[in-house]
A = this chain, B = another copy of it.
Amino acid sequence: MNKSIVPLNELVNQFAKLPGIGVKTAQRLAYSILEQPPENAKAFADALINAKEKIHFCKICGALTDSETCYVCDDMLRDRSTICVVEEPRDIYVFEKTREYNGLYHVLHGVISPLDNVGPEKLKIKELMARLGDGTVKEIIMATNPTVEGEATASYISRLVKPMNIKVTRLAYGIPVGSDLEYADEYTLTRAIRGRNEI
């Protein structure tokens, strides 16, 4: 750290808080900001504030959106009989990139994890159940991560949904176990969607 340049250290610290960014990289990023014209720093700052202010969760599925509902829920051409259940909003992006899936989504905003004190009541499971009431939905694809917590969450929801005569499927194990959906490439994920099995 530069001992006396407080605003520089402040900026380095902010970059270093980001996931996967160490102190040395944070310094390079901070210096790169200082080398650019002030408008660029302003635009970056505005983008941060704007993103945080304008983006919230879709009131239907919990995806990120800057309107009341997200573009998937709004799209009348999507297949409304299938809901793909994911852990986090960012997982939707990976599915959309495959162009394989044409149904709707539901974001749990977490997984059941007793060690972290996250029980089913903290996830958007009630909201999912509410969407199943009118009989439109025929299939739920459980696309939680292939981790212990993701599996447990998938089983839990499967047990709740099955009595409603809705098919519950799980992504095929094309995804390497113990990994994270965020890092799956389109091809692996395409195969996982095609090979999904009822649970």
Contacts and interface: CB of A to CB of B under 8 A. Distances in A.
Contacts of A45: 44-46, 48-49
Contact of A49 (B21, B41, B96): B41
B28 A182 contact: yes
A8 B64 contact: yes
Interface of A: 2-8, 10-11, 13-14, 17-21, 25, 27-34, 38, 40-55, 64-66, 70-71, 88-90, 93, 96, 182
Contacts of A33: 48, 51-52
Given A51-B11, A90-B27, A18 B32 contact: yes
A50 B10 CA distance: 9
25 contacts: A2-B96, A4-B71, A5-B66, A7-B50, A7-B53, A7-B55, A7-B66, A8-B64, A10-B47, A11-B47, A11-B50, A14-B47, A14-B48, A19-B29, A28-B182, A31-B90, A34-B51, A34-B89, A38-B53, A41-B49, A41-B51, A42-B52, A44-B45, A45-B48, A45-B49
A30 B44 CA distance: 11
For the residues of A in contact with B, the DSSP-based class is helix
Taken together, the copies of this chain in the complex come to 2
Contacts of A14: 43-44, 47-48
B31 A89 contact: yes
Contacts of A4: 65-66, 70-71
Contacts of A11: 47-48, 50-51
A47 B44 CA distance: 11
